[in-house]
Amino acid sequence: MDHPVRSRRIVAAALAAITITTLSTATAGAQPMAATADRQCGSSPVGSLRLDLTSDIENPAYLSPAPEARRVTGTATIPSAGIAALGAASVEGTVTVDLEISGTFSTRDSITLDLARTPVIAGQDIVANVVGYTGTGYFAYRGGTNYVDIANTHVTLRPRRADGVPTRPRQLTADCVRAEQPLTRWMEIRTEQIIAEILPAPTDLRVTSLGTDSLGLAWNRSTGLMGPASGYEVLLEDVSNQVLVGQDKLSTTVTGLQPDTIYWVRVRGIQFGGGRRSNPLHIRTAATQADFYYDTAGSARINGSSVALKGELDTHLDLATATHTSKLALAPTDVRGRNGAAHLEFTEAAPTTGALTGGVFTATTHQTVSVPRITVFGRVIDTPGCRTSKPVDIPLTSGAAFDPTVGGSLTGTFTVPDLTGCGRYTSLVNSLLAGRGNRAEIRVAPWA
């Protein structure tokens, strides 16, 4: 027979154990938590970064199920002076936020936010929208209060000119540190010792297809204590996109998307109206065109004289048709002959066009050549109206297996039409430039 005192102790211990963890059907509440972090950046074009962030955080959180990743929104403020000095008209990029977590345990985490394309206006701060999701690194399956603080931040910016071409440099990176500043408190989260009966989130959310305007998704079944989900809801940017009814609806296609655009997507199971949302997927739809930016260097043989050719080639390749529309900007140069020299300037008369088919890149450029001055027996003479009577058409072709991400050599033969408007020196200029059988060789290499 058990001793009565020992029996009472066993019952008391059992009751104490039961009070540690409570079963509940209630869902955890959401509490807005905001923070402002000012950091100095070690990059002169960037200078400083101010982040104003907010997110609806589960507070209190439960032991089970674990908290969801929650959407983070806000703004990033950056001085415009250094970026505008690069010739930028807009900027986009990412911001990574280093987090330090303390309380029931200590660890570090980070989140990366998308920084939306934003105009750059000289004299005005750049105030860009940022969006992303929290992690769940503050959660450790134990009761108590945890704190999430912002430490250092890191920014990557991609400035572009008004014509959409990247500036040089194409990308700016800066570490924006707190130095002697204290950590910036963002979240204070209490984890209750409660196990809630909430349908778990679907797992293994994955992309099955990716197009310019659509996205195929699949996921694993969600099953809780009350059985499997009765359906699933797809959320795009945390807004309901579609609802699928049925336990076996484990895939779908999201349509109506924009090409080359970033989206956040997630899925939740539905059971009695509720269910946890999956971790979000960060995806970018396929592009309709690929852009390549090259430095060009080479020369042309014109009437036996060598002419240096340097400049830039901006190529926009249509991925559906494999054709491209490009802009070839050539720097001024000089040509020298037996009877004198001429200074040449180039103006693209029409877009450069061509294709990338069978591994061969072709491009035909149309350049009006102006000769604003010539040199005769050491004397410089202005010839302001001197130019080709029509554009110079230069068809260029690569060798086999041209890789647009690497570049290569382009060659072609061309004719320089007669020049007009050169006054008494028209014959001299034509003897230097006009004629057939000229050959160009240009090496294109991606911007560093």
Q: Model confidence over 111-153: pLDDT tens digits?
A: 999 999 999 999 999 999 999 999 888 887 888 999 999 999 9
* Residue 26 confidence (pLDDT): 52
Residue range 65-76: mean pLDDT, rounded: 94
Q: b/e for 211-235, b at 16 or more Cβ within 10 A?
A: eeeebebebeebebeeeebbbbbbb
Lowest model confidence (mean pLDDT) among 44-48, 86-90, 315-319? 44-48
- What does DSSP assign to residue 6? H
Hey, what amino acid is at 27? Answer: T
**Residue 146, burial from CB neighbour count under 10 angstroms (0-12, 13-18, 19+):** buried
CATH topology for the 199-284 domain: Immunoglobulin-like (2.60.40)
Question: Which residue, among 129, 46, 128, has the nearest Cα to 84 in the 3D structure?
Answer: 46
State the Cα angle at 369 between 367 and 374, rounded to 5°: 165
Reduce the DSSP state of residue 347 to 3 states and report it: strand
Residue 288 CA: distances (Å) to CA of 103, 154, 317, 372, 407? 49, 30, 9, 41, 21
Domain ranges of the chain: 23-195, 199-284, 289-446
Taking the mean position of all CA atoms in its chain, how far away is CA 53?
20
More confident call, 376 vs 13: 376
* Residue 5 confidence (pLDDT): 37
pTM of the model: 0.86
Class of domain 289-446: mainly beta
**Cβ pair 197, 23 in contact under 8 A:** yes
Q: How many CB atoms lie within 10 A of CB 254?
A: 18
Question: Which residue, among 354, 347, 325, has the nearest Cα to 391 in the 3D structure?
Answer: 347
Residue range 333-349: mean pLDDT, rounded: 93
For 320-330, the pLDDT digits (tens) are: 999 999 999 99
Structure tokens at 188: 């204070």
